[in-house]
Amino acid sequence: MALRRILREKCLHKRLQNQFAVSAFSTLPSQKEVTEPPKLPPFDYKPKPYKGPLADEVLQKRKKFLGPSLFHYYQKPLNIVEGKMQYLFDDTGRRYLDAFAGIVTVSCGHCHPDVLNAVIEQSKLLQHATTIYLHHAIADFAEALASKMPGNLKVVYFVNSGTEANELATLMARLYTGNHGMVSLRNAYHGGSAGALGLTALNTWKYSIPQVDIHHVINPDPYRGVFGSDAYAYARDVQDFMDYGTSGKIAGFIAETIQGVGGAVELAPGYLKMVYDIVRKAGGVCIADEVQTGFGRTGSHYWGFETQGVIPDIVTMAKGIGNGLPLGAVVTTHEIASVLAQKIQFNTFGGNPVCSAGGLAVLRVLDKEKRQEHCAKVGSHLIEHLKLLQQKHDIIGDVRGRGLMVGIELVTDRKEKTPAKAETGVVFEKLRELGVLVGKGGLHGNVFRIKPPMCFSKDDADFVVDALDYALSKL
């Protein structure tokens, strides 16, 4: 009834706007007329005085000594020097709401005391020894991580990043099946190495290098996809590819449940269940890339693949697993894991005691603070208010996601879904001026990615909505 009322009032407003100088919108937060810039929610923390180099000096050093492929956000890049929970501070002491979590990496919160303490205490005792010796930290962490996995997914390999995890998962799939072909989705992102870039299907990230026996099927995107939300039609495309584009056998299929870099695109409901059946009949294994969707971020489930009612054969993870530590993992079955024992498989820093202690602390914090439940509540609140805001601003073509993994796609024409590339850039800068740091995604960079630390509050969510409303109003 409330939604109907809002729509009815909006129609009335359009009819009378030339006669009356009043708003016909309701008084919900995302429908109020915003005349003043919103203020950051209060936060009881004072950053330490900063005496290091300022932004201009850091930028010049970076240009001189670091690779030219590195990019930065904003016309005047931020020099971030301190972080606390869901907030970041620049070299002037200004506070920003971090709604992107270091590219979906900070799960518990910046400098969470429990994680910090675990890392510091372990660093005092032993920083590194490798797995050629025994150490309880890696075993304790592996046990705790395996306890979070369904079915027979109980064997853990630790690595240093999501890219490395996806490389190792691909190697496992090819060795286990004896096949070579890999299948992934268009609009996917799976990492920056030569092999992982083959799995990736966004031309903005890909170099012109050989992509050996990797194929990309139609993306089951409910908003932009050719079949809308029809999971069966997308699955039929996968079967057609198996019938006409392969020998009938493949090594594996990999997919994110909600595409991250691609713009917070959630796969059509029921898609993975049908595709997993097709892949397994073709002799392949099913790999779930949980680098961004794992550890309760979706709110409804601990793992993204659970939203599709499936259990993969291999799961890759990173980012939120370490709350900022360079940590990743591959979890699979004993049967699949055993194929790597044919040769020496070794990772110098995989299972580093400091990272393992920090990773175990992350799991404990997420449980203790009930972050999955929190993501569900705050995420639902955020999405509800963003969808109300969508009714007010025609430039918002789509609001999607679940939990604290949300995408807002801007378009210049809702019917044609024309990407609002220039407008997104303007609003992006304005949000930074207001104190909100968000990400950008999608092939055209026209999707705002809101994926904050999981301690992000309802007040923070309201501030993001109000800031976006103000920025779009000024546009």
Q: Could you please report the per-residue DSSP string of 438-475? A: -EEESTTS-EEEE---TT--HHHHHHHHHHHHHHHHH-
pLDDT of res. 211: 87
Instruction: Please report, in angstroms and rounded to a whole number, the separation of the first and last CA atoms in the chain.
Output: 31
**Radius of gyration of the chain from Cα atoms?**
23
Residue matched to tokens 């850039």: 425
Which of 147, 115, 156 is closest to 347 using CA atoms?
A: 156
Angle separating helix axes 371-392 and 2-16, nearest 10 degrees: 30
Torsions phi, psi for 36 (to 5 deg): -115, 145
d(CA 39, CA 62) in angstroms, rounded, equals 33
Residues of the chain with pLDDT under 50: 1-27, 30
Residue 60: CA atoms inside 13 Å, Cβ hemisphere, count?
A: 4
Decide if 464 contacts 41 (C-beta within 8 A): no
Alpha-helical (H) ranges within 108-248 are 113-125, 136-146, 162-177, 194-199, 231-245
pLDDT of res. 281: 98
pLDDT of res. 475: 86
Angle separating helix axes 353-368 and 113-125, nearest 10 degrees: 160
Burial of 23 (0-12, 13-18, 19+ CB in 10 A): middle
d(CA 378, CA 454) in angstroms, rounded, equals 9
pLDDT of res. 35: 77
Which of 256, 330, 331 is closest to 293 using CA atoms?
A: 256
pLDDT of res. 212: 87
pLDDT of res. 22: 32
Render pLDDT for 142-158 as a digit per residue (tens, 0 to 9): 999 999 999 999 999 99
* Domains defined along the chain, listed by start: 2-50+74-98+371-448+465-474 (3.90.1150.10), 113-368 (3.40.640.10)
Residue matched to tokens 């104190």: 435
Please give the order of strands across the beta sheet that includes 95-98. Answer: 80-84, 87-90, 95-98, 436-437
pLDDT of res. 236: 98
Render pLDDT for 313-339 as a digit per residue (tens, 0 to 9): 999 999 999 999 999 999 999 999 999
| Pairing verdict, β 214-217 and 182-185 | parallel
Q: Residues of 127-142 as b/e, b for ≥16 C-beta within 10 angstroms? A: eeeeeeeebebbeebb
How many CB atoms sit inside 10 A of residue 26's CB? 16
DSSP state of 208: S
pLDDT of res. 278: 98
Amino acid in the structure at residue 222: P
Residue matched to tokens 């100088």: 21
